[in-house]
Structure 1
Amino acid sequence: MDITVVDHPLAASRLTIMRDERSNNSAFRAALADLGAMLIYEASRGLEVEHFSCSTPVGQADGVRLAQPPIIVPIIRAGLGMIDPALSMIPDAQVGFIGLARDEETHEPVPYLEALPEDLSGQPVFLVDPMLATGGSLIHAIDLLTGRGADDITCICIVSAQAGVDKLEAHCPDVRLLTAAIDPGLNSDAYIVPGLGDAGDRLYGPRNIHL
């Protein structure tokens, strides 16, 4: 599996804001917007481009555009915070949705929504979720995507746990992973340590519905 850890001072500074327990919802969202855009920028390096002639005010230039923009697929709920940063970088991208809740007792993903094109073969997919903890949700989402023919999947996560990275590599060796940090462990509740807490809660406030 191709793993990229984005090591950049600006990325590290935004990640620090997200980790800091003193950051309120507004500060957390702003930092996620900045860092999410940086990760999308890095993930897009390998996308195919096409060239065309572009007229400037004084002559002709070589124009470049994406040959096939990716479809952005957030894992709801926390992944919603990465849609706007992704579209700010790739405004002509499509957006799909996968809804997965976490069973707080088993820590396993519970699916409740799938809104994707029927055929994803040959279509670049950016699967976005701020947290890669146990790897269960991401692997479930990848299985849904490959079931629709997806064969070019890049997972983009703000923070990843080493255990989740290892599980992803064992089960999905052909996907790519791009992240801002790989943290060493998980606690007894399967939260990443040191991590940044519950990304969904810090984006939108505590959930009122428990499975």
Structure 2
Amino acid sequence: MTKTKPVVIVDQAMVQDSLRYLRDKETQIEVFRFHSNRICQWLFAEAVRDLPMEAVKIQTPLSQAQAKVVAGDVMIVPILRAGVAMLAGALQALPYARIGFVGLKRDENTAIAEQYYWNIPSVTNKTTIIITDPMLATGGSIWYVLDRLRGVEAASKRVVCVVAAPEGLAKVQADFPEVKIVTAAVDKRLNRQAYIVPGLGDYGDRYCGTDGNQAEMSG
């Protein structure tokens, strides 16, 4: 039996400072975007902290030197729409990463994910796949993507979110215990509408400045 990886909660000062702004309902869109980008840089840096490295030689202005680079490659897979809000910060941390996209819509009656788009670049056994969705609520969307990637032999598969709910974490970890999950916070619970409490509202709406009528999946 595969041992379940513990959830990595990034309790770093800059992460928690940005999370405060993201939670506050009075935060304006430009401030929300700034702190979304800022928090994601730290979360993605943590997500790849344990990746294998390999030695290379470089030339400094003064002499040759030994340096280290990430072995293999990294692919970021945001789940549309809200996952795209994490991309700018992710690429600040991982500017060399390749990008895939998954589009899921949430059935408001069942909270089940329905796919409308799938574009994942080629994967090898040296590829680290990082699935991104800011709110891991029911776990349905993350579970769906991991299930579709079940037969893909990547180096590892990881998840980065900003806030997670215990219910969603339990769903994902029950079937994918080997997946590393990185988040800024694990909140109390889901409400009857399957939104995280206390949470921070609809991440995609707050980042994009929309009115909440979209049905994109979060979670």
Specify the alignment match of 2:142 in structure 1: 138
Which of residues 85, 104, 107 is equivalent to 1:103?
107
Cα pair distance change 1:13/1:174, threshold 3 Å: same
After TM superposition, the structure 1 = structure 2 runs for residues 167-206 of structure 1, keeping only pairs within 5 Å, are 167-204=171-208, 205-206=210-211
| Counterpart in the other structure of 2:12 | 8
> Does structure 2 conserve the Cα–Cα contact (< 8 Å) formed by 1:135 and 1:164?
yes
Give the Cα separation in 2 of the matches to 1:136 and 1:188: 15
Aligned counterpart, 2:167 = 163
Q: Give, as a single letter, the amino acid of the residue that structure 2 aligns with 1:146.
A: R
**Cα distance in 2, alignment partners of residues 149 and 69 from structure 1:** 13
Q: What CA distance in whole angstroms lies between the structure 1 residues aligned with 2:68 and 2:34?
A: 30
Partner Cα separation in structure 2 for residue 97 and residue 5 of structure 1: 25
Structure 1 letter corresponding to 2:162:
I
Contact 1:69 1:90 in 2 (8 A): no
Report SS of the residue matched to 1:201. Answer: helix
Q: How does 1:13-162 map to 2 (within 5 A)?
A: 13-150=17-154, 152-162=156-166
Structure 2 spans left out of the alignment, 5+ residues: none
Q: RMSD across aligned C-alpha pairs, in angstroms?
A: 1.6
Does the residue aligned with 1:104 lie in a helix, a strand or coil? coil
Go from structure 1 to structure 2 and tell me whether the alpha carbon gap of 1:210 and 1:81 turns closer, same or farther (over 3 Å shift). closer
Change (3 A) 1:140 1:151: farther
The offset of 1:64, in angstroms, is 1.4
Paired residues of 1:70 and 1:93 also in contact (CA < 8 A):
yes
Q: Distance in 2 between matches of 1:25 and 1:187?
A: 25
- Contact 1:120/1:145 (<8 A) preserved: no
Can you give the 5+ residue segments of structure 1 that lack an aligned partner in the other structure?
Answer: none
Go from structure 1 to structure 2 and tell me whether the alpha carbon gap of 1:209 and 1:47 turns closer, same or farther (over 3 Å shift): same
SS of 1:124 mapped into structure 2:
strand
Amino acid at match of 2:46: E
Q: Percent identity?
A: 38
Residues in 2 aligned to 1:29 and 1:46: alpha-carbon distance in whole angstroms: 28
Structure with higher helix content: 1
Normalising to structure 2: TM-score of the pair? 0.91
SS at match of 1:83: helix
* Deviates most, 46-55 or 17-26: 46-55
